Structure 1
Amino acid sequence: MPPISGVPAQKRPNWLMAVLRSCLHMLWMLVTVMPWAIIMLVASIRVRGKPLWWMAVRWLGWAIGGARVLLGIRTHVIGWENLPTGDTAPAILLVKHQSTFETFLMPTLMPHPLAYVFKKELLYVPFFGWAMGRLDMVHIDRSQRNESFAKVVEQGKRLLAQGIWVIMFPEGTRIPRGQTGTYKLGGTRLAVATGAPVIPVAVTSAKCWPRKAFIKTPGVVEVSIGKPIPSEGREPKELMEEVQAWIEGEMRRLDPEAYAPQR
């Protein structure tokens, strides 16, 4: 066998298997997302709101199920008891962002529909973005920050009143394993403006599905749901500092190897 650059000889069989499994999972997502997106686009002519959302979650469940079967990625969730109860109980989920995995995973876990706050460019992604555009979410233009936040508050109040939870990644982008991004205040500003509690969530997805990586590896992704943090009477900066402290502390507890001092 010719040498594989950067891969020790003793690890080549496992590496090749990871490549094969990753290719199969990518193929699985491609062959399922296209017909399902078309079905959703057609269904959205008559079906909107929560029924269309749960149609979308069906495909996300296939993607996560495919990751479990084809990639060997399992999930372990703690903190279920911290989720608010009641059909219209509001919540704003602020989630650690390490990879695409938690973007797919969170809707399959939550008992309420979720409204992602995302940049409008994602709407142009073939099939996946087209289907997202038919869902009740908040897409923003980053070039118009003030107008965008006013839109987030306006739509956020409406969605929360309907029992739809808002989900945001406060770091704004996927962060490499063992690192901390800059926690932006959009999520806590929305919480203070609406009075909704914040639910911090730590996710160790990069152990198996690293940021921007094609090759994924088997393992367990830990998801820890924190206790609701009240937003009434708080300042967004001080509230986000509390959210960040909890998430980053929990990340170090769940994945201590990633945060070990470099020698």
Structure 2
Amino acid sequence: MAPSCLEVILVVFIFVLPFLYETSRTFRYYFKFLMYYGIVMANAVMVIPIMIFRPWDVKNLLLASSLCHHVSTLLGLRWELRGREHLEKEQACIIVANHQSSLDILGMFDIWPVMDKCTVVAKKEIFYAWPFGLAAWLSGLIFIDRMNSEKARLVINTATKHIIDQKIKLWVFPEGRRFNTGEIHSFKKGAFHVAVSSQLPILPVVFSSYYFLSAEEKRLDPGRVVITTLPPISTKGLVKGDIEALMEKTRNMMMEVFHATNQEVQASLSTSKQHVKRAA
């Protein structure tokens, strides 16, 4: 019996796919992101029936991370955590981290078992990206309208009491949007307002540069990322007038670590390339 048109297309696809993956950087870039998003969405479908029985529980994120952190291996990404002792301490705090790409969530998945109880402030548009958005809501993510700062602050302030009572870490990206430019850009005040008003410590987390990623060049190569957790910054006794200085202090500390870890990773990468050349 002659093969159907669908079978022929499937066979051609199976043979052409490896060729395109090896020869086209653009194809490889989009394929990796498609695989990343596809696996995360598929896992969301799997965990939603479990999460429904414990809605808005941040512990659901431990389940999600256990299933999704393997995507990093498929993409060739390695995450190295430093300052673990600050991150694993059971305490309510405001985590502020630099934001470079949607790949950040893979780094977070990798360290979620260390954080244990942690939730994230996310833009409300993510909620509508079902099934991921629904799984995120069931996991206790806090969705805000970035176009309405007053309403966003009210939502976060409302959640703060629960965060303090349950000793939950609140993860915020204070840059407000993603920047993969080799710098840490200026911060918005929201996270620092919450920290000062609730007298919660700031816990800076720094991801080293994504040198392996370029949207312009359509490049997503294997890479190593150092995640550094700095000692907590106390906000005890601080008032609204101290917020600007607190922001500046936090950003300066993070930029110093950011540039230092970037240099270290690049030096290690250069050494590895030299060893490969010598071996060849």
> 1:15-38: per-residue Cα shift (whole Å, max 9, x none)?
847556545533433442333222
Instruction: Look up the equivalent residue of 1:146 and give its one-letter code.
Output: E
Distance 1:76 1:143, change over 3 A: closer
Tell me the residue number matched to 2:199: 195
Q: Show the 5 A alignment for 1:49-88.
A: 49-67=57-75, 72-83=76-87, 85-86=89-90
Tell me the residue number matched to 1:161: 165
Distance 1:212 1:159, change over 3 A: farther
Aligned residue pairs, count: 241
Q: Show the 5 A alignment for 1:215-254.
A: 215-234=219-238, 235-254=242-261
Tell me the residue number matched to 2:270: none
Structure 1 gap segments, 5+ residues each: 1-12, 259-263
Structure 2 gap segments, 5+ residues each: 1-19, 266-280
Question: Conserved in 2, the CA contact under 8 Å of 1:207 and 1:221?
Answer: no
Once residues 201 and 216 of structure 2 are traced to their aligned partners in structure 1, the CA distance between those partners, rounded to angstroms, is 31
Question: Conserved in 2, the CA contact under 8 Å of 1:175 and 1:211?
Answer: no
Say which SS state the counterpart of residue 220 (structure 2) adopts: coil
Instruction: Look up the equivalent residue of 1:116 and give its one-letter code.
Output: V
* The structure with more radius of gyration: 2
Say which SS state the counterpart of residue 133 (structure 1) adopts: helix
Q: How far does residue 167 in structure 1 lie from its aligned partner after superposition?
A: 0.4
Once residues 14 and 255 of structure 1 are traced to their aligned partners in structure 2, the CA distance between those partners, rounded to angstroms, is 29
1:147 and 2:151 matched: yes
1:177 and 2:181 matched: yes
Q: How far does residue 42 in structure 1 lie from its aligned partner after superposition?
A: 2.1
Q: Show the 5 A alignment for 1:35-114.
A: 35-48=42-55, 49-67=57-75, 72-83=76-87, 85-86=89-90, 89-109=91-111, 110-114=114-118
Distance 1:212 1:76, change over 3 A: farther
Q: Show the 5 A alignment for 1:116-135.
A: 116-135=120-139
Q: How far does residue 256 in structure 1 lie from its aligned partner after superposition?
A: 4.0
Question: Conserved in 2, the CA contact under 8 Å of 1:101 and 1:205?
Answer: no
Q: How far does residue 178 in structure 1 lie from its aligned partner after superposition?
A: 2.1
Question: Conserved in 2, the CA contact under 8 Å of 1:198 and 1:228?
Answer: yes
Instruction: Look up the equivalent residue of 1:144 and give its one-letter code.
Output: N
Tell me the residue number matched to 1:9: none
Greater fraction helix: 2
